[in-house]
């Protein structure tokens, strides 16, 4: 109690921090008309927008915009920069990273940051229009950093997930919450980082937490009401299809992993959602979970109306290298056939028939693969893995994979796939531990190589699996690439450089130093006929896994937007 009898000065009521930031608090209503049909027709109908996570359902990360092209890209300039930085103590204080892909609708950008941030930004000027910040518990379980990969927009709302596994729907005009649903159990070690996907009248999200021994799942919610529609587990219970790939007795399936922590792609004609699943748990100790462990490390083709798996293709049966297969499945036509391409952590690229999962082609896309071999007919033979307790085993690629979650691209213009590649090995030493809920469940000690690591962006011909060109880098490439009709491929480096490469030759045509490494998914859009490139820069996340030689590199959190001079 105070030692004075004077009445207290009235300090009033606390105010939202954004009221002290000269933010309008409103954005134009550009998303009310965004619906399933518009997203379905995004490719072709509205190339000026980036309407969904990959730009279109096909996951190509290709834009038909060509104002910025191979002839003039050297003239690109910074148009504006958006920054936020850290405020107060935040979860995973040293691991935050800017990993999102900017969504743009008719001149308004919607993007998430780390630690619960979501913003609407004027896509021409960079002015912050509104913000929403979900309060994130400091002690939430995060395997791989305080990150988030972006939003979905439709029906006048902005949807994103929080690190404590909420799916939040915001009013797109002012950032106020419309509904908020919990879809994961933080006490079990679950979290959320995925960018939601809109299909028809549903918002679809997946869970994170594969390093904590959870049971992976997809969830669907009604766009308007937020009512839960279905849950699809990616590890079956006893008696369900695939359960015979788990031990008949015991509880291995209850903590089996297979988290879907990355956005899927979708074929509206087949009505199939293609989702990659994560590693089994424990990651490296396979002896406690004999069997193939379905549906870990798999492509699952899901009927989005009901949340049922129609078919699957498992890339890493009985994974003991932490080779999540979460990476995107890029949809395109090859010789009139509906196919998909997937570049797995295990170092192999796959071309599958996307109607039924038939393997068409498999080929290595990295220089060094020692964990095992996959033959052209898809037979998997493990060779090196942490088999004996306490015995170190070195293998390539390391647990972050020859390609991590960051995305490849496909250009219909060149017919080539462009892949960001990490040439990094690791040593795993099996160390068995008992399972305890909420505690990391790896089953090994792991040290990823600091030396002898490099990277590249490589172009592949999906018709042959042959390399068309490669652009080599001294450190692993850890950011999504972006292809455009301007004959360009854009790729960010861990050392901060953002590059434009010639899509046909790989020749470097332009570079800009952003001051912090790239671990995000750039997008492109146009407003009033002017094309822009949006590039989140902010090094962080699971660096010790995908590029430990860059653990001491500058952190940051800036969104750079580039354009040609007027």
Partner 1 sequence: MEAMATPTEQRAVTLSDVGLDTQNKATIGRVLATGKIEQAKEDSDGRMSATIRIQPDQLVFEPSVLVLPHGGQVELELINDDKNTHCALLPSNGDSQFIWLVNHSRGTATLSLDGPGYYWFSSPTGNDEGRGLTGAIVVMGDTPPEARLDRPTQPRP
Q: Report the b/e string of 471-495 with b at 16+ CB within 10 A.
A: bebebbbbbbbbbbbbbbbbbbbbb
Q: Which of 65, 120, 165, 369 contacts partner 1 by CB under 8 A?
A: 165
Q: According to CB under 8 A, which residues from 274 to 293 bind partner 1?
A: none
* 131 sits near partner 1 (criterion: CB under 8 A): yes
Does 322 participate in catalysis according to the annotation? yes
Tell me which stretch binds partner 1 (CB under 8 A): 28-36, 149-157, 185-193, 424-432: 185-193
Q: According to CB under 8 A, which residues from 246 to 265 bind partner 1?
A: 251, 254-255
Tell me which stretch binds partner 1 (CB under 8 A): 17-25, 41-49, 334-342, 360-368: 17-25
Q: Which of 36, 80, 385, 435 contacts partner 1 by CB under 8 A?
A: 435
* 16 sits near partner 1 (criterion: CB under 8 A): yes
- For residues 561 and 80, is the Cβ–Cβ distance under 8 A? yes
Q: Which of 10, 249, 335, 566 contacts partner 1 by CB under 8 A?
A: 10
Q: Which of 27, 84, 120, 140 contacts partner 1 by CB under 8 A?
A: 140
Give the separation between CA 143 and CA 367, rounded to whole angstroms: 28
Do you find a cis peptide bond into 58, omega within 30 degrees of 0? no
Minimum distance, C-beta of residue 432 to partner 1, in the bound complex (Å) = 15
**With respect to partner 1, which residue has the nearer C-beta, 185 or 544?**
185
| DSSP of 187-232 | GGT-B--PPPEEETTEEEEE-B-GGG--B-EEEEEETTT--EEEEE
**With respect to partner 1, which residue has the nearer C-beta, 6 or 333?**
6
Q: Which of 49, 60, 123, 215 contacts partner 1 by CB under 8 A?
A: 215
Minimum distance, C-beta of residue 15 to partner 1, in the bound complex (Å) = 6
**With respect to partner 1, which residue has the nearer C-beta, 46 or 171?**
171
Minimum distance, C-beta of residue 179 to partner 1, in the bound complex (Å) = 12
* 15 sits near partner 1 (criterion: CB under 8 A): yes
From 361, 315, 323, 413, select the one nearest 65 (Cα to Cα): 413
Work out the angle at residue 470's Cα, subtended by the Cα atoms of residues 468 and 43, and round it to the nearest 5 degrees: 70
The CB density around residue 336, as the number of other CB atoms within 10 Å, is 6
Q: Is the dihedral of CA 63, 66, 67, 73 positive or negative?
A: positive
Q: Which of 33, 177, 376, 390 contacts partner 1 by CB under 8 A?
A: 177
* 83 sits near partner 1 (criterion: CB under 8 A): no
**With respect to partner 1, which residue has the nearer C-beta, 259 or 265?**
259
- For residues 402 and 322, is the Cβ–Cβ distance under 8 A? no
Minimum distance, C-beta of residue 285 to partner 1, in the bound complex (Å) = 17
Please count the residues of this chain forming the interface with partner 1, following the rule CB under 8 A.
60
- For residues 424 and 398, is the Cβ–Cβ distance under 8 A? yes
On the 0-12 / 13-18 / 19+ scale of CB atoms within 10 A, 135 is: exposed
Q: Which of 22, 89, 269, 333 contacts partner 1 by CB under 8 A?
A: 89
Q: Which of 24, 74, 75, 180 contacts partner 1 by CB under 8 A?
A: 180
Tell me which stretch binds partner 1 (CB under 8 A): 57-65, 82-90, 292-300, 315-323: 82-90
**With respect to partner 1, which residue has the nearer C-beta, 183 or 510?**
183
Work out the angle at residue 401's Cα, subtended by the Cα atoms of residues 395 and 404, and round it to the nearest 5 degrees: 165
Measuring CA to CA, how many Å separate 187 from each of 164, 169, 205, 437?
10, 23, 19, 7
Catalytic residue among 285, 297, 319, 322: 322
Q: Which of 67, 80, 126, 228 contacts partner 1 by CB under 8 A?
A: 228
Name 67's bridge partners: none
Q: Which long-range contacts (CB under 8 A, 24 or more apart) does 242-248 make?
A: 242/294, 242/295, 242/312, 244/291, 245/291, 245/292, 245/293, 245/294, 246/289, 246/291, 246/293, 246/294, 247/289, 247/290, 247/291
From 497, 480, 314, select the one nearest 410 (Cα to Cα): 480
* 5 sits near partner 1 (criterion: CB under 8 A): no
Minimum distance, C-beta of residue 184 to partner 1, in the bound complex (Å) = 6
Minimum distance, C-beta of residue 439 to partner 1, in the bound complex (Å) = 6
What's the number of CA atoms in the CB half-sphere (13 Å) around residue 339?
A: 20
- For residues 250 and 290, is the Cβ–Cβ distance under 8 A? no
* 226 sits near partner 1 (criterion: CB under 8 A): no
Give the separation between CA 463 and CA 466, rounded to whole angstroms: 8
* 48 sits near partner 1 (criterion: CB under 8 A): no
**With respect to partner 1, which residue has the nearer C-beta, 231 or 337?**
231
Minimum distance, C-beta of residue 282 to partner 1, in the bound complex (Å) = 14
Residues making contact with partner 1 (CB under 8 A) = 1-4, 6, 8-18, 20, 87-89, 131-140, 164-166, 176-177, 180-188, 190, 214-215, 217, 228, 233, 237, 251, 254-255, 434-439
Annotated catalytic sites, by residue?
322
């Amino acid at each position: 109690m105070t030692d004075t009898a004077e009445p207290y000065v009235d300090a009033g009521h606390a105010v939202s921090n954004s009221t002290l930031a000269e933010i309008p608090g409103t954005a134009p209503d550009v998303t009310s008309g965004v619906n399933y049909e518009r997203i379905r027709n995004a490719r072709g109908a509205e190339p000026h927008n980036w309407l969904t996570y990959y730009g279109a359902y096909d996951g190509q990360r290709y834009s038909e915009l060509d104002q910025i092209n191979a002839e003039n890209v050297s003239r690109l300039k910074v148009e504006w920069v958006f920054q936020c930085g850290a405020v107060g103590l935040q979860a995973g204080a040293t691991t935050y990273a800017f990993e999102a892909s900017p969504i743009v609708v008719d001149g308004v950008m919607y993007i998430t940051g780390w630690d619960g941030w979501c913003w609407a930004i004027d896509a021409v000027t960079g002015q912050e229009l509104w913000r929403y910040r979900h309060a994130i518990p400091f002690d939430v379980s995060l395997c791989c950093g305080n990150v988030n990969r972006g939003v979905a927009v439709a029906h006048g709302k902005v949807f994103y997930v929080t690190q404590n596994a909420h799916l939040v729907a915001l009013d797109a005009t002012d950032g106020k919450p419309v509904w908020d649903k919990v879809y994961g159990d933080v006490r079990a070690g679950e979290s959320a980082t995925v960018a939601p996907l809109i299909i028809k009248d549903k918002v679809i999200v997946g869970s994170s937490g594969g390093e904590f021994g959870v049971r992976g799942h997809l969830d669907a919610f009604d766009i308007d009401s937020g009512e839960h529609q279905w849950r699809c587990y990616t590890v079956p219970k006893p008696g369900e299809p695939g359960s015979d790939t788990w031990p008949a007795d015991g509880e291995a399936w209850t903590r089996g992993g297979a988290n879907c922590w990355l956005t899927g792609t979708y074929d509206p004609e087949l009505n199939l959602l293609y989702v990659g699943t994560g590693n089994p748990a424990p990651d490296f100790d396979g002896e406690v979970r004999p069997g193939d462990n379905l549906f870990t490390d798999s492509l699952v083709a899901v009927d989005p109306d009901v949340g049922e798996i129609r078919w699957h293709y498992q890339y890493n049966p009985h994974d003991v290298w932490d080779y999540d297969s979460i990476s995107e499945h890029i949809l395109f036509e090859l010789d009139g056939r509906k196919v998909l391409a997937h570049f797995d952590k295990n170092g192999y690229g796959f071309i599958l028939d996307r109607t039924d999962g038939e393997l068409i082609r498999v080929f290595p896309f990295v220089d060094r693969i020692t964990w095992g071999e996959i033959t052209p007919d898809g037979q998997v033979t493990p060779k090196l893995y942490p088999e004996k307790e306490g015995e170190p085993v070195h293998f390539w690629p390391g647990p972050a994979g020859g390609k991590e979650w960051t995305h490849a691209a496909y250009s219909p213009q060149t017919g080539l796939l462009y892949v960001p590649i990490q040439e990094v090995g690791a040593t795993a030493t099996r160390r068995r531990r008992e399972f305890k809920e909420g505690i990391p469940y790896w089953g090994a000690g792991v040290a990823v190589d600091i030396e002898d690591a490099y990277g590249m962006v490589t172009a592949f011909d999906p018709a042959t699996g042959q390399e068309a060109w490669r652009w080599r880098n001294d450190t692993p490439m850890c950011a999504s690439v972006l292809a455009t009709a301007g004959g360009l491929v854009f790729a960010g480096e861990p050392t901060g450089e953002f590059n434009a490469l010639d899509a046909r030759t790989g020749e470097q045509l332009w570079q800009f130093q952003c001051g912090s490494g790239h671990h995000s998914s750039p997008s492109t859009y146009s407003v009033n006929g002017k094309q822009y490139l949006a590039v989140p820069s902010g090094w962080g996340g699971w660096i010790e896994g995908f590029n430990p030689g860059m653990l001491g590199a500058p952190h940051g959190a800036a969104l750079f937007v580039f354009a040609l001079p007027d």
